[in-house]
Amino acid sequence: MTLDDLVGGGSAVVTGFALDHRKVAPGTIFGAFAGARVNGEDFIPAAVANGAVAVVARPEAPVEGALHIADAEPRRRFAGLAARFFGPFPRVTVAVTGTNGKTSTAELTRQLWRLAGHAAASIGTLGVTTAHDQVSTGLTTPDVVTFLANMGGLAREGITHASFEASSHGLSQYRTEGLPVAAAAFTNLSRDHLDYHETMAAYFDAKLRLFTEVVDGDGAVVVWADDGDHSARVIEVARARGLRVLTVGAGGETLRLVTRTPTQLGQTLVIEAEGRTHKVELPLIGAYQAANALVAAGLVIATGGDTAATLAHLARLLPVRGRLERAVITSANVPVYVDYAHTPDGLVAALAALRPHATGRLIAVIGAGGDRDVGKRAEMGAIAQAQADLVIVTDDNPRSEDPAAIRAAILTGAPDATEIGDRRSAIAAAIAQAQAGDIVLIAGKGHEQGQIVGDRVLPFDDVQVARSCAA
C-alpha cells in the first residue's frame, strides 16, 4: 500500500502506523496528537528522522520532510487511514460501553457466539480473548494502532465475530474508529473517571459518541432498560439516528426479565421474549451478572442470533476472570470472591450480589486507586460499612499518592473499618476471621496481575493471594 492508495500523496510505500516516535520505522505514518501530559507534535522531527513518510497532525503543526496530512481532528483522520491499512476486519463487530459491566458483557457475548458455532473474540480489559488464547493489551481500550492491528489479525486468523469494550477515554480519543460496528450496547452509568472528564455530563457525552457516531447507520443498539434517565437518553439518541433499538431488563421489551431467583451457585431467570416465556439457570451470581448476560444475549440477537437458542446458551456461560470470581473455598468452608468493583456503583452491585448467599457475615476488603477520582473514596467506604458486616480498608494501586492518605479518605466514610495497609496482610486477616456461613469479598483489582506503587508494578494477583492465604 502506498501513500497514493491512502491519501493520493505520493508513491512512498506505507509500512505501518505509530503514535510513538520511537516506534517509527521507514515507511511509517506518524500520528502527532496533543495529549494530557505530552504533545505529540513536539516529536514530529524525531519521527521524520526515523523514517516517517507522513504525519497526521493539526493544520498549524510544523511538519518538514514528510507529507503533512492536516486535519482539525487528527485522531479521527489517523484512525480512518489506519483502518484502511489494517483491514479487513471480522465480519461482525459489536461494542459495549457503560460504567460497569463492559468487560463481562463483551466476554459473555464472545462465549454466546462461540456456543452458536461462530469463531469469536473479545477485546478489552482482559486483553484479546479467543476460544484458545488470551493476550493482554494493558488497557480497557488500547490505542487505535494496537486495536485495529489486533482486529485485522483476528480476521486473518479466521475470527468472524468480535466484541470490544468502548471506554469513555477510548471514545473521546477516537481509539475505536475505523471499523464497521454492527451493534452497540449500553450497560449503565455511574460515577467514574471524573479525574479525566471532570463532570458527569462530559463523561456521559463521551459514552454517547458510540451511539451518535460510531455504530453503523443501519446498525442496532442494545440498552439495559433499567438505568433510568441514562437508558432513556441512549434510546432517544439511537432512535433519532434511525437505529434499531433492543431493550433488555425488567423494563425491557426485547428480553423482559420477569423474575430473578438466587440459587446456591447462580440464579434462575424467567425471561419473556417473542411472546414466549423462557426459564434459564444462569451459572453466575448477582443481579449485575444477570444484566450483563442479558445485554450480551441482546447483542447476539441483534446480529442475527436465534432468540430461543441464545437464551438456552445462557445456562452454559462461564465466569469472567475477576468478576465475582470464586477464588477459593477455605478450610472453614468460606467462599472467597474477587471482583473488579472499583467504583461506588460497582461495589454496591458486588456486595448486593453476595449478600443473599451469606448466612453469616459479609466481609469486604476494599481500597481505592491513587491518581484517580478522589471524590469516590469516602463514598465507597460508606457503602462498604453500610452493606458489609466487617470492612478492611487496604491499598489498591496507590500510584504516586501517599497510600495512608488514600486509606484515610476511605475511612472517613467507614469509621468502623479496620485499616491494614499491606494488601496481602489485609486479605489474610479477612480470611483468618471468616467462619462457616461467612463470605469474603476482595474488591477493586479483579483480574489485575500487579499492584502499582509509585512508578513500579509489583506482582500481585488477588486470586492467587487468597488461595495462598487460605491454604
Q: What CATH number is associated with residue 236?
A: 3.40.1190.10
278 and 210 both lie in a single domain: yes
β-pair type (267-273, 276-282): antiparallel
450 and 365 both lie in a single domain: yes
Residue 464 belongs to domain with CATH number: 3.90.190.20
Whether residue 187 is contained in a domain is answered as yes
Q: Annotated binding site for meso-2,6-diaminopimelate, which residues?
A: 372, 396-399, 444, 448
C-beta separation of 267 from 352 below 8 A: no
Average pLDDT over the chain reads: 93
Answer with the one of 71, 98, 117 that is the final residue of a domain. Answer: 71
Q: Would the pLDDT of 141 be above 80?
A: no
99 and 245 both lie in a single domain: yes
C-beta separation of 183 from 221 below 8 A: yes
Q: Would the pLDDT of 205 be above 90?
A: no
* Mean pLDDT value of segment 192-211: 78
Q: Is the full-model pTM beyond 0.75? A: yes
Which of 375-401 are b and which e, b meaning 16 or more Cβ less than 10 Å from the residue's Cβ?
A: ebbbbbbbbbbebbebbbbbbbbbeeb
Element housing 387 (H / E): helix 376-387
Report residue 66 as a C-alpha cell: 514528510
Cβ atoms within 10 Å, residue 36: 7
Range of the domain at 309: 87-316
Q: Annotated binding site for ATP, which residues?
A: 98-104
Q: Annotated binding site, which residues?
A: 19, 98-104, 140-141, 167, 173, 175, 372, 396-399, 444, 448
Element housing 381 (H / E): helix 376-387
67 and 114 both lie in a single domain: no
Per DSSP, the three-state class of 43 is helix
441 and 344 both lie in a single domain: yes
163 and 279 both lie in a single domain: yes
Q: Say how far apart CA 74 and CA 106 lie, in whole Å.
A: 28
Strand order in the sheet with 439-443: 325-329, 335-339, 439-443, 362-366, 390-393, 418-419
Whether residue 77 is contained in a domain is answered as no
Q: Would the pLDDT of 186 be above 90?
A: yes
Q: Would the pLDDT of 193 be above 60?
A: no
Whether residue 16 is contained in a domain is answered as yes
Q: Would the pLDDT of 194 be above 70?
A: no
Predicted local distance difference test score (pLDDT) of residue 200:
77
366 and 433 both lie in a single domain: yes
Q: Say how far apart CA 310 and CA 25 lie, in whole Å.
A: 46
- 489485575: which residue's cell? 448
428 and 338 both lie in a single domain: yes
263 and 155 both lie in a single domain: yes
114 and 63 both lie in a single domain: no
Q: Is the pLDDT higher at 37 or at 465? A: 465
Residue 34 DSSP class: B
159 and 284 both lie in a single domain: yes
281 and 303 both lie in a single domain: yes
Q: Number of folded domains in the chain? A: 3
* Mean pLDDT value of segment 4-33: 94
Predicted local distance difference test score (pLDDT) of residue 195:
60
* Mean pLDDT value of segment 86-102: 94
Q: Is the pLDDT higher at 35 or at 193? A: 35
Whether residue 82 is contained in a domain is answered as no
